[in-house]
Amino acid sequence: MGGITWNYVLKRWHVVPDRLAGHHDHLLDSAPGARRPGGRRDQPHDGQSGYVENSAEIINAWRARFGLDEPLPVQYFRYVGNSLRFDLGYSLANFPSRVEDMVIQALPWTVGLLLVAVLISFLIGNTIGALMAWERTPGWIQNLLPVSLTFTSIPFFMLGILLIYVFAFGLRWLPASGSVGRGLTQGFNWPYIASVANHAILPATAIVIASMGFWALGMRGMMITTAGEDYMILAQAKGLTPSRIFWLYGVRNSILPQVTALTLSLGGIVGGAVLVEYIFAYPGIGYLLYQGIVTSDYTLIQGIVFMLVFTTATLVLILDLIYPLIDPRITFERG
């Protein structure tokens, strides 16, 4: 197989710019400057009381300030150039705050919450799915595991509301909203870390419970397919222990498509879990995106979508480069 060659990398590096180009092309139809002047989309919005009346002067000033009075191709190429420098512009609803600063402030909360939740869901779900398909799994476990997937049919936000009602309002064990308690000094100190972890339990649990069924069902199907492969039969004929056959031959080969799905899920982390973060008032990217939609903050929405596309494309490229290391059957070069 050899190592990763430059020829292999050069053949696949275009994944990132191709996806970013598709994102930029979409902006030709969605950019605020493409809207007809004087329409509702061009009018400033205060987020509560409606649209501002007699705002022609305000509209013209804002269009000049943000370059919306320039021809659309000029706006487009200017935006592309700024995006390559990660200059995402000013927030329309929170001017003069810059979009990249707002995203940087919210990103650690979303990554910390969703990264842990997705990885836990991935491990638990794949383990459950593998055990459901393994013929040597004890009968009581096979009967118990499907019951554990009952809650996966409930949407994230409904499960979040249920968890808040039971554990926050009913038992009063966990906080219902927010990301950290009041009056704590931010930093790597135990009270602050414990408060952050305590506030993340309910939203993370909602994501884990609602998504692990996806991993379990996918893994179960792959394990059933893998069970009839020749190398599984050969491993049993060689007298290997059931646990070794299960983990090293069954799970190892069945989990490869799941790794691809995991990469795409991790790419979506930057987009946040909008409804979950909104319900728990968690100050992540999802909640920031919700605020941008409510206030018609186009630059903020475009900035978040750009980061989502960039992260997904980058992770797909990384997966494409390391996949031959995960699966020896795939080679870096043909023949």
The share of the chain scoring above pLDDT 70, in percent, equals 78
Kindly tell me the burial class for residue 206, based on how many C-beta atoms sit within 10 Å of its own C-beta (0-12, 13-18, 19 or more). Answer: buried
- Over residues 5-15, the mean pLDDT reads 63
Residue 322: closest CA among 244, 253, 263: 263
18 found inside a domain: no
What would the pLDDT profile of 137-178 be if each residue is shown by its tens digit? 887 777 777 777 777 778 888 888 999 999 999 999 999 888
Q: pTM of the prediction?
A: 0.77
Helix (H) or strand (E) holding 303: helix 298-326
Question: What's residue 335's pLDDT?
Answer: 43
Q: Which of 11-15, 132-136, 308-312 has the lowest mean pLDDT?
A: 11-15
Coil, strand or helix: which one is 192? Answer: helix
8: CB partners within 8 A, 6+ apart: 321, 332, 333
17 found inside a domain: no
Structure tokens at 274: 């909008």
Residue 264: closest CA among 216, 316, 321: 316
Q: State the total domains in the chain.
A: 1
Question: What's residue 302's pLDDT?
Answer: 85
172 found inside a domain: yes
Q: Is the CB of residue 306 less than 8 Å from the CB of residue 23? A: yes
What would the pLDDT profile of 274-286 be if each residue is shown by its tens digit? 888 889 989 988 8
63 found inside a domain: no
Structure tokens at 293: 């939609």
Task: Say if residue 52's pLDDT is above 60.
Answer: no
- Does the bond joining 283 to the residue before it have cis omega, within 30 degrees of 0? no
Hey, what long-range contacts does 296-299 have (CB within 8 A, 24 or more apart)?
A: 296/41, 296/45, 296/92, 296/93, 297/91, 297/92, 297/93, 297/94, 298/31, 298/32, 298/92, 299/66, 299/88, 299/89, 299/90, 299/91, 299/92, 299/99
What would the pLDDT profile of 240-259 be if each residue is shown by its tens digit? 998 899 998 899 888 888 98
335 found inside a domain: no
The alpha-carbon radius of gyration of the chain (Å, integer) is 24
Question: What's residue 44's pLDDT?
Answer: 47
In the chain, count of helices (H) and strands (E)?
A: 15, 0
Q: What residue numbers bound the domain in which 277 lies? A: 108-299
How many residues are given for the chain? Answer: 335
Question: What's residue 65's pLDDT?
Answer: 64
138 found inside a domain: yes
What would the pLDDT profile of 178-224 be if each residue is shown by its tens digit? 888 887 878 888 888 999 999 999 999 998 988 888 898 889 889 99
Question: What's residue 164's pLDDT?
Answer: 93
| Average model confidence (pLDDT) across the chain | 79
Q: pLDDT band at residue 40, thresholds of 50, 70 and 90?
A: very low
47 found inside a domain: no
- Name which residue leads in pLDDT, 90 or 224: 224
Buried b (16+ CB within 10 A) or exposed e, 294-310: ebbbbbbbbbbbbbbbb
Question: What's residue 51's pLDDT?
Answer: 56
Q: Is the CB of residue 295 less than 8 Å from the CB of residue 45? A: yes
Task: Say if residue 38's pLDDT is above 50.
Answer: no
CATH of the domain at 140: 1.10.3720.10
Helix axes of 99-133 and 285-294: crossing angle, nearest 10 degrees: 120
Q: pLDDT band at residue 271, thresholds of 50, 70 and 90?
A: low
- Name which residue leads in pLDDT, 235 or 147: 235
- HSE-CB of 321 using CA atoms within 13 angstroms: 18
Task: Say if residue 119's pLDDT is above 60.
Answer: yes
28 found inside a domain: no
Structure tokens at 135: 């013929």
DSSP states of 69-99 = TS-HHHHHHHHHHHHHTT---B-SSSTT-BH
Helix axes of 99-133 and 139-148: crossing angle, nearest 10 degrees: 150
